[in-house]
């Protein structure tokens, strides 16, 4: 296995919000097992030396450790890797946006679950979280950061994608990143799981809006795996991101555990015990995954080269198998 080129770094599992779909089940509770600043910065040096193309700082809410965020960004300033901060926006004011920009941050993704403040606040368990998210978008855009809004498609918002688009277009966001709910963390405990019919409806509505609205280019909406826009319109194959879990993407938890991605709760090793490079390149689990990534129905599908089976984590967390079709794929019953 080659060293991953896309690293997701969870610098804390703490969060002041309590989102129903949180894949890390984050909370405000302190975690005494989290890596120290020095341990994280040592890890960042390992990552920087290995030709990494992308580094995402995430949580929990990463700005609960804002000084560490800034120090990581300063270490990567001038490095060719694209740096991204994933945040709820709660702690982003103009001063913080300025500090992030000056430290070298290139891109920020701010989470938004609804165009409606009450729905968003209820889903995230915190009053005014919608207001703060929208303000964060405006602050970051004014500071010249590439500012994206990230929305998870859930049973509570699948029918309001166009309204979310309408809202963020007026606030300066440079794109919408969408991803369907993956059954992981608290997402496994939601009263209503997302159905593939709801997922399909959301994708159709987004594609229709892109085609009809001159303000929205095809590139404005980023469909993350396991979104399947090409099943609606083959022209959107270029907009769909393949699942990179366990290939070029690695997730490192706040305690130093290395996972194929944030949604796959399988621990490959811990960076306090082994160097990241050794954990990744010597993993039998990843080698098996590489050799048995898709099988059966997916292999006979005409879109296999485009999606490669969809989200591997969704399949694994749902069935315990690495090679079965993504449960969010509405074509799986047609084969």
Tell whether pTM > 0.85.
Answer: yes
Coil, helix or strand at residue 77: coil
Q: Which whole number is the average pLDDT over 289-314?
A: 81
- For residues 55 and 45, give the distance between their C-alpha atoms in angstroms, rounded to a whole number: 12
Contact criterion met (CB below 8 Å) for 274 and 29: no
- For residues 330 and 326, give the distance between their C-alpha atoms in angstroms, rounded to a whole number: 9
- Cα within 13 Å of Cα(114), Cβ side: 18
Closest CA to 329 of 240, 250, 248: 240
CA distances from 115 to 133, 209, 330 (A): 11, 16, 27
pLDDT for position 333: 60
For the four alpha carbons of 65, 66, 67 and 70, in that order, the dihedral sign comes to positive
- H/E element holding 86? strand 82-87
Q: Which whole number is the average pLDDT over 225-239?
A: 84
Task: Categorize the per-residue pLDDT at 288 as very low, low, confident or very high, splitting at 50, 70 and 90.
Answer: confident
Q: Burial code of 269-289, b = ≥16 C-beta within 10 A, e = fewer?
A: bbbeeeebeebbeebebbeeb
Q: Where are the beta strands (DSSP E) in 157-300?
A: 176-180, 221-223, 249-252, 257-259, 269-270
- For residues 293 and 247, give the distance between their C-alpha atoms in angstroms, rounded to a whole number: 10
Residue 15 has pLDDT above 70, yes or no: yes
- For residues 231 and 156, give the distance between their C-alpha atoms in angstroms, rounded to a whole number: 23
Give the whole-number percent of the chain exceeding pLDDT 70.
99
60 Rama sector, left if φ>0, alpha if ψ -120 to 50, beta otherwise: left
Backbone angles phi, psi at 36, to 5 degrees: -75, 170
Residue 11 has pLDDT above 90, yes or no: yes
In this predicted model, what pLDDT tens digit does every residue of 88-103 receive, in sequence order?
999 999 999 999 999 9
In this predicted model, what pLDDT tens digit does every residue of 272-287 receive, in sequence order?
999 999 999 999 989 8
pLDDT for position 324: 84
Task: Categorize the per-residue pLDDT at 9 as very low, low, confident or very high, splitting at 50, 70 and 90.
Answer: very high
């Amino acid at each position: 296995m080659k060293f991953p080129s896309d690293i997701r770094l969870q610098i804390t599992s703490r969060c002041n919000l309590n989102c129903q779909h949180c894949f890390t089940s984050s909370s405000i509770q302190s975690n005494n097992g989290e890596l120290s600043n020095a341990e994280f910065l040592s890890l960042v040096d390992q990552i920087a030396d290995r030709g990494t193309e992308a580094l995402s700082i995430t949580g929990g809410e990463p700005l609960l450790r804002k000084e560490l965020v800034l120090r990581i960004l300063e270490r990567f300033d001038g490095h060719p890797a694209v740096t991204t901060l994933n945040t709820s926006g709660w702690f982003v004011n103009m001063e913080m946006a300025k500090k992030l920009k000056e430290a070298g941050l290139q891109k920020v993704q701010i989470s938004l679950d609804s165009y409606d403040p009450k729905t968003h606040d209820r889903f995230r368990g915190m009053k005014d979280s919608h207001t703060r998210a929208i303000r964060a978008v405006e602050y970051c855009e004014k500071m010249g950061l590439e500012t994206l809004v990230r929305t998870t498609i859930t049973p509570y918002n699948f029918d309001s994608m166009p309204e979310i688009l309408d809202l963020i277009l007026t606030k300066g966001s440079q794109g919408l990143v969408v991803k369907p709910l993956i059954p992981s963390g608290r997402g496994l405990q939601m009263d209503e799981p997302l159905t593939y019919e709801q997922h399909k409806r959301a994708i159709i509505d987004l594609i229709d809006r892109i085609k009809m609205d001159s303000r929205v280019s095809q590139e404005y909406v980023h469909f993350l795996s396991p979104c399947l826009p090409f099943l609606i319109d083959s022209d959107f194959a270029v907009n769909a991101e393949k699942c990179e879990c366990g290939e070029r993407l690695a997730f490192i938890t706040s305690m130093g555990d290395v996972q194929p991605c944030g949604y796959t709760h399988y621990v490959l090793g811990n960076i306090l015990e082994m160097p990241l490079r050794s954990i990744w390149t010597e993993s039998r689990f990843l080698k098996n995954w590489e050799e048995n990534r898709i099988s059966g129905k997916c292999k006979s599908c005409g879109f296999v080269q485009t999606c490669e089976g969809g989200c591997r984590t969704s399949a694994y967390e749902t069935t315990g198998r690495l090679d079965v079709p993504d449960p969010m794929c509405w074509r799986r019953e047609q084969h």
